[in-house]
Amino acid sequence: MPSARFHHVSLSVADLTAQEAWYGGAFGLTHVDERLELPEAGVRTVVLSDGDGLRVEFVERPGSSPAAAADPFAATAVQTFTHLALQVPDLDGAFARLTGECGAAPVSPPAPGVSAGMRYAYVADPEGNLLELIGISQTAPV
């Protein structure tokens, strides 16, 4: 069997238009002409990309309820994907910008990670979805 490779992650949202705008402003994600409306199922979707391999599908279904968790450890109480992890070039700058001008809720500030040269932080998007921000030092072993 050939090896699998990452294609995209899907995130259920309450407001597709608002989340598309937020992720566009916060991370520069833009739609890649993968928009779908299934009125019979009550679902609208869009796939956003950074053009460099990151693809996130946002799916809106009226009446859906958030499965937001207060922190990444509480999220593990349910067996599902618990957060979206994004590597950023400047962890401190990204955390400050997201929790400042972009309106993300701070969950945990930048802290040392397990691997040498790696740091991480958590924020929550406007609907409470957890995002892990990862910064890797230029001098860290790959």
The domain that holds 101 is classified in CATH as 3.10.180.10
- The average pLDDT across 129-133 equals 94
Q: Does residue 92 form part of some domain?
A: yes
Which pLDDT tens digit goes with each residue over 71-130? 888 888 888 888 999 999 999 999 999 999 999 999 999 999 999 999 999 999 999 999
Distance CA 137, CA 142 (A): 10
| 37 and 84 co-located in one domain | no
| 106 and 55 co-located in one domain | no
Report the pLDDT value the prediction gives residue 72, as an integer from 0 to 100.
Answer: 87
The model carries a pTM of 0.88
Which pLDDT tens digit goes with each residue over 3-20? 888 889 999 999 999 999
Distance CA 88, CA 65 (A): 29
Distance CA 99, CA 113 (A): 20
| 13 and 50 co-located in one domain | yes
Q: Residue 141: which pLDDT band, with cuts at 50, 70 and 90?
A: low
Pairwise pLDDT comparison (66 vs 95), residue with the higher score: 95
Residues whose CB is less than 8 angstroms from the CB of residue 83 and which lie 6 or more positions away in sequence, other chains included: 72, 75, 122, 129, 130, 131, 132
> What domain range is 42 assigned to?
9-60
Domain count, the chain: 2
| 123 and 76 co-located in one domain | yes
H or E element at residue 55: strand 55-60
* Sign of the Cα pseudo-torsion (40, 42, 44, 45, in order): negative
Range name among 32-41, 63-72, 117-126 with the lowest pLDDT average: 63-72
Whether 142 shows a pLDDT value over 60: the answer reads no
Of the residues 20, 36, 60, the one at which a domain ends: 60
Residues whose CB is less than 8 angstroms from the CB of residue 71 and which lie 6 or more positions away in sequence, other chains included: 107, 108, 122, 130
